[in-house]
């Protein structure tokens, strides 16, 4: 059950990155991609019905970690406490900006909340990548399983690199989502931005992969031990090629490509760190793994059943909402 839970959490976080990733990416480009009140309202209409439901995956993953790997949850909050509080306030800022924007019909009022929405989305995209970079790089975990260090330690060159990779990948994903959902001038701009961001994503993926392997030669160990896991980086590579070869007007194909790239990158990252959940840079024996940080077998089994029931409910809800609001958005669809 330990290994099953590891991959369950990895898949839940991947689902969050794919689903909330496109509205984070669209929000990060909000001020530059959409010009004028009409285009910005269309952009918000594109994500309006789904953005809050997409965030459920992050909440569910965090909640399930408490039950399955409580030591990792405790160490993560001790190490990432300030960063997690910043992300929480940024999530609140995004939600408030979306909901408050249309409450007063005044240009300065809308401009203020547009900036809040864009800044919140951009910084969340960046910080999520910073967090992933620190998980890959390792943290100063003490023998008692708690973090030893400061917030500035988390802002190291490698994690900042992964942060920018996250920002670019999600922005590309958001552009591709807008290609599926919008029409006219906004659609054409989304296509142009998507093409530019594809090149930026390729460059950053190559640099980050090289930095990961150069920083720790053991990073590729699991791919040698489990050759079938090479399907994950191959998925990333094939999806990038697909995104490049995809015809200019094939918007759904571009969205599927960015989705697959995110899946490939995160599953590759999960394979890289396994069986560690938090690697200790002080001493490898202090690392929190799927074995020494897990709850009792009974708790793992019981929580897994509860998690499956909850996940089915979330999947049904997400599928229903996405099907209900499928197709191109119109300015009159929602009140943003």
| Residue 164: pLDDT band with limits 50, 70, 90 | very high
Residues 6+ apart with CB under 8 A from 189: 33, 34
Interval 90-111: pLDDT, tens: 999 998 998 888 888 888 989 9
Question: Residue 100: which of 85, 120, 83 has the closest Cα?
Answer: 120
Cβ proximity of 2 and 291 under 8 Å: yes
CA 167 to CA 185: how far, in whole Å?
24
Neighbours of 219 (CB within 10 A): 17
Which segments of the chain does DSSP mark as H helices, in order? 2-28, 30-33, 36-47, 51-54, 56-68, 70-100, 107-137, 151-154, 157-181, 184-215, 221-225, 231-245, 251-273, 297-324
CA 193 to CA 256: how far, in whole Å?
17
Residue 124: both structure tokens together = 């969340």
Q: What is the pLDDT of residue 143?
A: 82
Interval 261-297: pLDDT, tens: 999 999 999 998 888 888 888 888 888 888 888 888 8
Q: What is the pLDDT of residue 334?
A: 54
| Residue 168: pLDDT band with limits 50, 70, 90 | very high
Instruction: Kindly report the pTM of this predicted structure.
Output: 0.92
Residue 263 CA to its chain's centroid (Å): 10
Interval 198-236: pLDDT, tens: 999 999 999 999 998 886 666 778 888 888 889 999 999
pLDDT at residue 299 is higher than 70: yes
Interval 1-32: pLDDT, tens: 888 889 988 999 999 999 999 999 999 999 99
Question: Residue 43: which of 246, 244, 181 has the closest Cα?
Answer: 181
Mean pLDDT of 144-171: 86
Residue 170: both structure tokens together = 């999600």
Chain mean pLDDT for the chain: 87
């Amino acid at each position: 059950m330990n290994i099953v839970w590891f991959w369950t959490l990895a898949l839940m976080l991947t689902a969050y990155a794919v689903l909330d990733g496109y509205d984070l990416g669209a929000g990060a480009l909000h001020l530059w991609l959409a010009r004028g009140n009409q285009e910005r309202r269309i952009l918000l209409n594109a994500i309006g019905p789904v953005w809050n439901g997409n965030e459920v995956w992050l909440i569910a993953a965090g909640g399930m970690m408490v039950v399955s790997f409580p030591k990792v949850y405790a160490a993560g909050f001790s190490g990432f406490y300030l960063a997690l509080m910043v992300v929480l306030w940024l999530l609140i800022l995004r939600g408030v900006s979306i909901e408050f924007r249309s409450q007063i019909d005044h240009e300065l009022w809308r401009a203020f909340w547009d900036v809040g929405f864009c800044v919140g989305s951009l910084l969340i995209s960046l910080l999520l990548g910073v967090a992933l970079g620190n998980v890959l790089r390792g943290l100063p975990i003490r023998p008692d399983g708690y973090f030893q260090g400061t917030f500035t330690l988390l802002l190291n060159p490698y994690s900042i690199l992964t942060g920018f990779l996250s920002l670019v990948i999600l922005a590309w994903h958001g552009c591709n989502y807008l290609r599926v959902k919008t029409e006219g001038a906004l659609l054409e701009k989304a296509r142009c931005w998507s093409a530019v961001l594809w090149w930026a994503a390729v460059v950053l993926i190559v640099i980050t992969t090289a930095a990961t392997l150069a920083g720790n030669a053991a990073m590729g160990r699991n791919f040698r031990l489990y050759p079938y896991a090479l399907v994950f980086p191959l998925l990333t590579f094939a999806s990038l090629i697909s995104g490049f070869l995809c015809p200019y007007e094939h918007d759904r194909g571009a969205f599927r490509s960015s989705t697959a790239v995110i899946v490939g990158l995160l599953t590759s990252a999960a394979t890289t760190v396994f069986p560690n959940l938090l690697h200790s840079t002080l001493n490898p024996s202090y690392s929190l793994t799927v074995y020494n940080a897990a709850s009792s077998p009974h708790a793992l089994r019981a929580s897994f059943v509860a998690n499956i029931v909850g996940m089915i409910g979330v999947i049904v809800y997400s599928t229903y909402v996405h099907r209900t609001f499928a197709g191109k958005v119109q300015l009159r669809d929602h009140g943003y």
